[in-house]
Amino acid sequence: MKRQRIGTALVGAGVLLLVGCSEPDVGEGRLAEIRARGELVVITRNAPTTFYEGRDGLAGPEYEMVESFAEYLGVSTHYIVIDNWSEMLSRIERGDADLAAAGITRTSRRMGKYLFGPGYQTVEQQVICRRDGESPRGVEELSGIDLKVLADSSYEERLRALRRDYADLEWTAETDLGSEQLLEEVWQGRIGCTVADSNIVAINRRYYPELDVAFTLGAPQTLAWAMPKGASELLAAVRTWFEEYEQSGDLDDLVERYYGFVDLFDYVDVSVYRRRIEQRLPKYQTMFERAGEEYGIPWSLLAAQSYQESHWNPRARSPTGVRGMMMLTLPTARSLGVKNRLDARQSIMGGASYLAHLRSRLDPEIQEPDRTWFALAAYNVGLGHVRDARRLTEEMGRNPNLWIDLKEALPLLSDRKYYRRLPHGYARGSEPVRYVQRVRDFHDILEQQLGIGVPQQEFDLMVERAAANQ
């Protein structure tokens, strides 16, 4: 296993905060130094969009990309976590680290001080306020608003540029808090508004549903790694690695895993859901736990799926006749031995059994977690249609065993050009895509709110045990 090293660790709030590093020289020869010392020194920041300690160890989009690049170089990694933008960029300028992978916006001003790698994500700066608070709809309405942004950030850089045209534009530069903390400050009503990148907002709005995107501040920008001036050989290596990383589909897979389930947001839905986690879920939690244990499925995932199906209403009924907590059809309920679909316990056990059955019938080449996403899609649209979509995925030159590729093919099931030649014909293929996204979103919010989770290794063992019992 490739060695990882992290600076001095300060454990708090379930994550690592790190400082300290070696001091390589600035300029040419940086790549040779990295290989000689056998270690890539990386500055990053502690956030869900960059680098954090998850249930199974270190994780985050930036972390995964850095690990891939280090593997390409054949070296280990040493992470330095700094949440102050000024210090972070100053240390890169001095050459205290080889690169900064921290969700850094590539701006013209910064490009004069640092080298930047290829852009890997496009974001927008968004002015964020609370729904029941300040409501500016343009820069001209920011005057007099309690606006706080990160000091020396790309947000402050843009505000300085805007002040040339809006002389009364004022803000407070924050040096101690990060973007996520400023968003929480807005949510708690302690400040009026802040500015944050759209990817950061997308994740955090699920936790703070009262946050409102007031307006977008300027044109889209690109995130990229920053390196010291003169490190041209290192930059060339980053470009070569990134081209392979992008062409292999690894970048698309990364974005899907971290952001693929956060695109859908509905303020009313999320607010009600969070209340029902506290008020309605406790009545049924033991039922979900027993079903999850019996069928090798995390109970929190079953609960999230049930909420998507019925909002945890055991008497729920759809216009098509499906009923109960897991919205079973009458034929499916009979095949599962469910005598009363309106009985919450029977419905939950039946739904879990059916989901496990669908998962067991998928091709063995489909691995977790994609296997569960495929099973959820089949629960929604039928296994035959999922198999049709896999066929289309393969015809498109994509991987039929990956959810990120299958979800591109599923909507084609409603296009006559495609469905007329498929064994199972027409289907509203966009629905299972939305269904899986919403279940994943509800699942993520539930685990965040309750502070729970099933590590991937334990999840895999649950699946193996359930398969052995079937």
Report CA-CA distances (Å) from 22 to 91, 228, 238, 265: 11, 15, 21, 43
Report CA-CA distances (Å) from 97 to 133, 225, 231: 42, 12, 11
Write the DSSP string, 40-59. EEEEE-BBTTTBEEETTEEE
Burial of 286 (0-12, 13-18, 19+ CB in 10 A): exposed
- Single out the residue of 216, 298, 215, 296 nearest to residue 468, CA to CA: 296
Which tokens sit at 408?
């591109």
Helix then strand count (H, E) for the chain reads 20, 17
Question: Which residues are annotated as catalytic?
Answer: 309
Which tokens sit at 416?
């006559």
pLDDT tens for the chain, residues 1 to 470? 455 665 533 223 233 333 334 444 455 689 999 999 999 999 998 888 898 765 456 888 999 999 999 999 999 999 998 878 889 999 999 999 999 999 999 998 899 999 999 999 999 999 999 998 988 999 999 988 999 999 989 999 999 999 999 999 999 999 888 888 899 899 989 999 999 999 999 888 877 888 999 999 989 999 999 999 999 999 999 999 999 999 999 999 888 878 876 655 566 577 888 899 999 999 999 999 999 999 999 999 999 999 999 999 999 987 556 899 999 988 899 999 999 999 999 999 999 999 999 999 999 999 999 999 999 999 999 999 999 999 999 999 999 999 999 999 999 988 878 888 888 887 888 889 989 999 998 998 899 888 876 555 554 554 455 455 44
Give exposure, 172-208, as e/b (b: 16+ Cβ within 10 Å): eebeebbbbebbbbbbeeebbbbbbbbbbbbbbbbbb
Q: Identify residue 200 by its one-letter amino acid code.
A: I
Do 156 and 162 meet the contact criterion of CB atoms below 8 Å apart?
no
Report CA-CA distances (Å) from 95 to 27, 105, 115, 390: 8, 19, 12, 49
Report CA-CA distances (Å) from 226 to 74, 314, 412: 20, 53, 40
Helix (H) or strand (E) holding 289: helix 285-295
Q: Cβ contacts of residue 176 below 8 Å, gap of 6+?
A: none
Q: How far apart are CA 3 and CA 24, in angstroms?
A: 19
Q: How far apart are CA 48 and CA 61, in angstroms?
A: 8
**Which residues in 97-225 belong to E strands, given as ranges?**
99-100, 114-116, 121-123, 125-130, 148-150, 172-174, 193-197, 211-216, 221-223
Which tokens sit at 376?
């959820």
345 phi and psi angles, rounded to 5 deg: -65, -45
**Which residues in 175-243 belong to E strands, given as ranges?**
193-197, 211-216, 221-223, 226-228
Burial of 240 (0-12, 13-18, 19+ CB in 10 A): exposed
pLDDT at 84: 84
Q: How far apart are CA 244 and CA 258, in angstroms?
A: 20
Helix (H) or strand (E) holding 9: strand 8-12
pTM, rounded to two decimals: 0.66
pLDDT at 209: 80
pLDDT at 320: 57
Q: How far apart are CA 398 and CA 175, in angstroms?
A: 45
Burial of 320 (0-12, 13-18, 19+ CB in 10 A): exposed
The SS3 call for residue 451 is coil
Q: How far apart are CA 5 and CA 77, in angstroms?
A: 6
Q: Tell me what percent of the chain is helix, strand and coil, each rounded to the nearest 5.
A: 50, 15, 35
Q: How far apart are CA 16 and CA 18, in angstroms?
A: 6
pLDDT at 338: 95
Q: How far apart are CA 250 and CA 245, in angstroms?
A: 6
